[in-house]
Structure 1
Amino acid sequence: MFPRSNAPAAGVVDAPATGLLSTRRLTWKIGEVAIVDHVSIDLAEGEFLAVIGPNGAGKTSLFNLISGLRKPTDGSVTLAGQDVTRLAPHRRARRGLGRTFQSSSVFGSLTVEQNVRLAVQARRGGSIRPFPLPGSDKDIAERAARVLWRVGLDHRARTMAGTLAHGEKRKLEIALLLAGEPKVLLLDEPMAGVSAEDVPGLVALIKTLTRDERRSVLMVEHHMDVVLDLADRVAVMHHGALLICDTPEVVMADRTVQEAYLGEKL
């Protein structure tokens, strides 16, 4: 299709990190194969940056490096001006980095409210005892109630999380993130498995969190209509490298991006 390059993408240079979340030449190799190849991005405070690319482009691997699930071969990750490249995932979470995953990650045998209370307790350093209702502190209960109201699940508080519809589980996952009071949200394919009728409601929730509350979001997503609706900028990956990072209009008109998507619906 076109030759790979280790050079930074157009408009991206290895300057000092300027974003609330930044990577510099972030690389992860298996043997001699670069799964993530010298990726440098900056996520500004209050910005929504979407990461797209063909299957196997390295998007989720990039998230794994940023969140600490993988150790990079080279490069760095900074959060709020602090180098977190070598920190464990839970320590990055303590510093304000929250993440969802492609597959559901809620406690199905607990109620919706119990799930969120546990997340609030974890953030505040309390003991985690799910039975009876975890935590008796009034502040924890009030915080959990506010978060559930915020994502529209307050009426499902006593429902067992495992019985929720998939779209509601996605909302609960976002609630768990918010309970951790993150500075940056990493959303890994939040629409994956969500029914068509539930997508607009989930998009509206994410849009409210980001635009009304000015939260910073880095999102991997395959639904291009969702990306174009939410993103301030779009980063395109291919073969692990960053091709371009610009406004949705510029990215969609770029011929190199169109070539990268040959054979797939863009």
Structure 2
Amino acid sequence: MTSTVAAPARPVLRVRGLSWAVGGAQIVSDVGFDVAEGEFVAVIGPNGAGKTSLFNLISGLTRPTAGTIELDTLDITRVAPHRRARRGLGRTFQSSSVFPALTVAENVRLAAAAHRGACLRIWRRAESDQAAWHATAEALERVGLAHRAAEIAGSLSHGDKRKLEIAILLATDPRIILLDEPMAGVGVADVPALTEVIRAVHREQGRTVLMVEHHMDVLLGLADRVAVMHHGSLLALDVPDEVMANPVVQEAYLGEAL
């Protein structure tokens, strides 16, 4: 039976009966949920619960064996990842995905130019691509990296690289952002600033966010609802207090760290 939980407002993302099996092993099993426009949904669960696999299915990196994915009522289940991105679906990954030899600004400018169908040559004169450079400046300002625009991306701390990845996403003007463990590898001292960047992206810019993260204190301070994955299935989806008090969740995770 499909586990389907409706969001309280018009959904921008709708998942129905989503499943993925490999060699007989069920990695994601019959997952269904809605995400409302502007909502922040945290996705939690221990390693192997299917969280990243779920993100891979939603972003198009993996093709499901069953089920559908809708973005604004449009079925994108078989749509290629780059076409999903053009329709407003952005994604970060657990490992850093910046170009370390390019400057901070060049990393963002490439994304902005690609989104606008412009030339990707980094030596192209700025005057010929004002829209991309404007988007670059705005995105870097949003994440607090404007003052480091000319620095080489590889020289940034891990926390600042995570901010840069978010700036790269913002330059493509996504409606939905999937953040896969953005705090992974980030020093304790950098967590609060990165948390505030993510909070601003959601609350001030109104972006819809789905985020996988193991820092529960971070998630519970950001999320409107929490989705609990367990052995590839959606065990619960509710407001944070209800999820944390749910006896089924507590029983499922007895002795297992969320």
Say whether the fold is shared (TM-score over 0.5). yes
Equivalence for 1:247: 239
Cα deviation code 1:20-57 (max 9, x no counterpart): 01110100011322100010011100100011011100
8 Å contact from structure 1 (residues 128, 135) kept in 2: no
8 Å contact from structure 1 (residues 8, 242) kept in 2: no
Determine helix, strand or coil for the equivalent of 2:197.
Answer: helix
Q: Following TM superposition, where does structure 1 have runs of at least 4 consecutive aligned residues deviating by more than 4 angstroms?
A: 132-135
The reply to whether residue 97 of structure 1 matches residue 89 of structure 2 is yes
TM (norm. structure 2) is 0.95
Give the deviation of 1:135 after TM superposition.
7.5
CA distance in 2, matches of 1:135, 1:37: 50
Alignment root-mean-square deviation, CA: 1.8
The reply to whether residue 119 of structure 1 matches residue 98 of structure 2 is no
8 Å contact from structure 1 (residues 129, 135) kept in 2: no
Q: Structure 1 residues 133, 60: CA separation in 2 closer, same or farther (over 3 Å shift)?
A: farther
Cα deviation code 1:78-101 (max 9, x no counterpart): 111100000110000010000000
8 Å contact from structure 1 (residues 128, 134) kept in 2: no
Where do 5+ consecutive residues of structure 2 fail to align? Answer: none
> What is the identity, as a one-letter code, of the residue corresponding to 1:12?
V
8 Å contact from structure 2 (residues 12, 71) kept in 1: yes
Equivalence for 1:42: 34
CA distance in 2, matches of 1:81, 1:134: 38
Equivalence for 1:144: 136
Cα deviation code 1:201-256 (max 9, x no counterpart): 01111111111221100111111101100000000010100011000000000111
Equivalence for 2:63: 71
Equivalence for 1:3: none
Which of 66, 73, 82 aligns to 1:81? It is 73
Cα deviation code 1:177-224 (max 9, x no counterpart): 000110100000111111111000011111111112211001111111
Determine helix, strand or coil for the equivalent of 1:121.
Answer: helix
Q: Structure 1 residues 75, 135: CA separation in 2 closer, same or farther (over 3 Å shift)?
A: farther
Determine helix, strand or coil for the equivalent of 1:197.
Answer: helix
CA distance in 1, matches of 2:71, 2:192: 31
Aligned length: 257
Identical-pair percentage: 61
CA distance in 1, matches of 2:144, 2:128: 23
